[in-house]
A and B are shown apart, each in its own frame.
Chain A
Amino acid sequence: MSLADHIRTESARLAALCTACGECVRACPMVPYAPGVAESGPEAVAAGLVDVLRDGPGTEAARAWIAACTRSGVCTPACPERIDPAFMLRLATWRAKGALGAAPLIPVKEDPQLPARVKAFARLTMTEEEQRAWL
């Protein structure tokens, strides 16, 4: 199985199970940082999340909520269906960033210099022997 297949399969499975009750949104500590989420209401935001999992664009509020996810994980124990909303958000983040080839739905912040930066710091904090052994 490829990662893309994994994302598609799990997205479809969880979207089918979700009732969009909104308990995950109510539990989320990041709602104050996601524009439009409080105004839209938890049920509508959860429905927008499910739409993203089904290849849809979601709603503006749902996309804002996905973009503000910091993986606090408190949505999962809040789910009355026990279907792991934290993983749903992880799947939605991949999709919204365009991981499956579609145009991104949320801003993508990649650091193209990450590998070089990681190695530059290693040269400052590790001995040459440690760099050879640990990198």
Chain B
Amino acid sequence: MTSIFDSLQQSLAFLNLDLFMLLSLIALLGGTVIFLVMAVNALVAVYFERKVSAFMQDRLGPMEVGILGFKGGKKFWGGIGQTLADAIKLLTKEDILPKSSDKFLMILAPFIIFSGAFLTFIGVPFAQNIVISDFNIGLFYIVAMSSIGVIGIILAGWSSNNKWSLYGAMRAAAQIISYEIPIGLSLLLVVIVSGSLHLGDIVQWQESNRWFIFHSPFTFLAFFIYFISIVAETNRTPFDIPEAESELVAGWMTEYSGFRWALFFLSEYANMLIVCIVASIVFLGGWLSPLHLINIFPESWYILDGPLLGLFWVSFKAVILIFIMMWFRWTFPRLRVDQLMYVCWKVFIPFALANLFFVSLWELIF
């Protein structure tokens, strides 16, 4: 019983299906769960983002749309039906394919991006044992799967037959591929220290030692390299040059509308959630409560652990990171392409490599 997959396999054994049917059923159930998580995440995150931006910009944000007449409140939490209404609008919108676009690729692209995000979720634990399938190379799997999306981005930009989309796609490809290196290097550091690619083991290590962010100066630095790189990886301000509104209109998704565009949106917010969950698991102790940091009553903090509280802690940490990403977005200007590459290749990668070296020394000495 280490994952949802395993527990489903056990609990559905009474149906006496043959193995293929059982696996299909489990895959279907798991897929539904992932899709629901993605959809709910997008609904909540978009609303959250709109409210956060409104709060920072001295506005109220959406206030009017409610669910069955319930609008949520008068001040900050009004208009809770807004994203639901937006989703319905997007799904019922006319689907436009430009005449001179490469139609096959244009239809294919959103699904590639979507499946990148979708498949990543299989390996993302939301708490101890609450993971669809528990890989022993979970971290590697997540890093690998989250880079599938870039193929879809290039296809989308290319097939739109729009110069602006092509610019956006090329920028996105260059950016995402570049920033995968510092991400990989900073995660590698954690793998070196904990000696495992399995996310559960990494948290186990943090439980018996300390959170990675506080483990050594190098892991502390690695967390920030990782966090800034994931902001770039998810194309958010100050690194949102692929979809720079004021330059490229909407970048590689300029020609998309309706459902296909909604898929982009869904994947974007799903990616945000994934990287923030990974950050909180790998560096911030995952499902351990923050009281683990305080060693006054070493036994007492166990009451704050457990499957449900673990879920709470992971999402709490992830939400804080997501909030910081939104905070970035609504306060920072955008970098230029060459500056973005400069930050990656001349700052992050050398630092991450040096980090890797020094943390190995640190582990040898201490």
Interaction A to B: no
